[in-house]
Structure 1
Amino acid sequence: MKKLLLILCILFTSISFGQDGLVLSQQNANEKGISPIWPKCERSRQTPVQCFDGKLRTHIIQNFEYPEIALNEGLAGTVTVEFIINKKGKVEVLDVHGAHRYLQREAIRIIRAIPKMEPGKWGNKPIAVAYEVPITFVKPE
């Protein structure tokens, strides 16, 4: 009886936690073809992965603003932002490291401004996909 109870507890625990917290890395999602779809990428001639990468680069360039205080203090460097596109298609910043905190704040602002998109899907279930993006701040001359 105790063995049966133990087996049932383990079985129900694994079922209740199965795939709810699943997050794929960008590389794994790209390999499996389950990347999030950036707005208007569904009509693109590019693959969803190519379109996502291009739109992300464009988004960073268009939204980039060198912080005034960082300019005044001569700050430069590379900030790496780790984030996910969650199961609802929204951005969640997980970690930021590198360079000065003023530059980190700007990098976070840029990433948080990413538009809501169609989340990656595993079969028919939405899934979170993790990304890591370096943003380099070079002080203008």
Structure 2
Amino acid sequence: MQVKKNPKADLNRDSGLFFVIGLTIVLFLTWRALEYKSYPKDEVLLEMAEAVEDLSEDVPKTEIIQTAPPPPPPAAPELIEVVEDTEEIEETIIESTETSQDAVIEDAVVSVDDVEVGEEEEEIIVPFAVIENVPVFPGCESAMNNAERKACFQRMIQEHIRKEFKYPPVALELGITGKVFVQFHIDNKGMVVGIRTRGPDKALEKEAHRIVASLPQMTPGMQRGRAVKVPYSIPVTFKIQ
């Protein structure tokens, strides 16, 4: 008799899957059993109760010590004896240093003629753009009118800067360039005063100051027939080619 097997009734077909599922469940239960922790709740509560009981302390009763009041101060004596001073005090006589009205002080007499009173002239500043007669730069004396003198003045200033220009060695080595703005005044005697510089580097400012300070004396600017102080500003460009 031949035994017929149904392929659907094979019990070993899914045995591997069931083995893996069972092994996973066992490992999970084992891990939870190892991680399980228990705490002694009764002992903790007991320790806390004992700690609370220890906080209550019996405060001893103190008694107020009464001290005796201080004795009263001694009474003042009824009789006061006056003791005479036997020493004599010499009086100090202070003589007055004031002089009478009749005294004549000859040394204090000062003659009015000996005092010289100098009149301080008021300094007038007139801008370069509106002055009647601009300062005359040496070499511009032949200019006929004020406009020509202004043009000659500016041209001579530029020539003077190009002639005196020297690039500072430190700035040249470091490659420092920039523009220095120089402001100065031409006073009522034609001298360059009050030089101020503003630029990107101290070495460039120092060189621009030196150039402007070397300007020659000029004929001062005139306003209504009077020599006045004239401000002027010019930029000095430092550029490495």
Tell me which interval the TM-score lies in, with the shorter structure as reference length: 0.7 to 0.9
Q: Work out the CA distance in 2 between the residues paired with 1:54 and 1:94.
A: 20
Taking only aligned residues, the RMSD between alpha carbons, in angstroms, comes to 1.8
Is the 2:177–2:238 Cα contact (8 Å) retained in structure 1? yes
**Aligned match for 1:21, one of 123, 135, 141:** 123
Report the Cα offset of residue 23 of structure 1: 1.1
Residue 220 of structure 2 is aligned to residue 82 of structure 1: no
Structure 1 runs, 4 residues or longer, greater than 3 Å off? none
- Structure with the larger strand share: 1
Report the Cα offset of residue 51 of structure 1: 0.8
Residue 163 of structure 2 is aligned to residue 62 of structure 1: yes
Report the Cα offset of residue 42 of structure 1: 1.0
Gaps of 5+ in 1: 1-15
Report the Cα offset of residue 135 of structure 1: 0.6
**Aligned match for 1:112, one of 207, 210, 213:** 213
Residue 201 of structure 2 is aligned to residue 100 of structure 1: yes
Letter in structure 2 aligned against 1:139: I
- Structure with the larger helix share: 1
Is the 1:78–1:136 Cα contact (8 Å) retained in structure 2? yes
Q: Which string of whole-angstrom CA distances, capped at 9 and with x for unpartnered residues, describes residues 51-84 of structure 1?
A: 1011011111111110111101111100001001
Q: Work out the CA distance in 2 between the residues paired with 1:109 and 1:93.
A: 13
Question: Secondary structure of 2:212's partner?
Answer: helix
Match of 2:226 in 1: 125
Gaps of 5+ in 2: 1-118
Residue 142 of structure 2 is aligned to residue 49 of structure 1: no
Q: Work out the CA distance in 2 between the residues paired with 1:47 and 1:23.
A: 22
Is the 2:196–2:209 Cα contact (8 Å) retained in structure 1? no
Report the Cα offset of residue 28 of structure 1: 2.0
Between the two proteins, the alignment pairs up a number of residues equal to 121
The structure with the largest alpha-carbon Rg is 2
Match of 1:35 in 2: 134
Q: Which string of whole-angstrom CA distances, capped at 9 and with x for unpartnered residues, describes residues 95-123 of structure 1?
A: 21122010000000110111101000112
Question: Secondary structure of 2:137's partner?
Answer: coil
Letter in structure 2 aligned against 1:39: P
TM-score, scaled relative to structure 2: 0.47
Is the 2:181–2:233 Cα contact (8 Å) retained in structure 1? yes
Report the Cα offset of residue 137 of structure 1: 0.4
Residue 211 of structure 2 is aligned to residue 137 of structure 1: no
Is the 2:195–2:213 Cα contact (8 Å) retained in structure 1? no
Question: Secondary structure of 2:209's partner?
Answer: helix
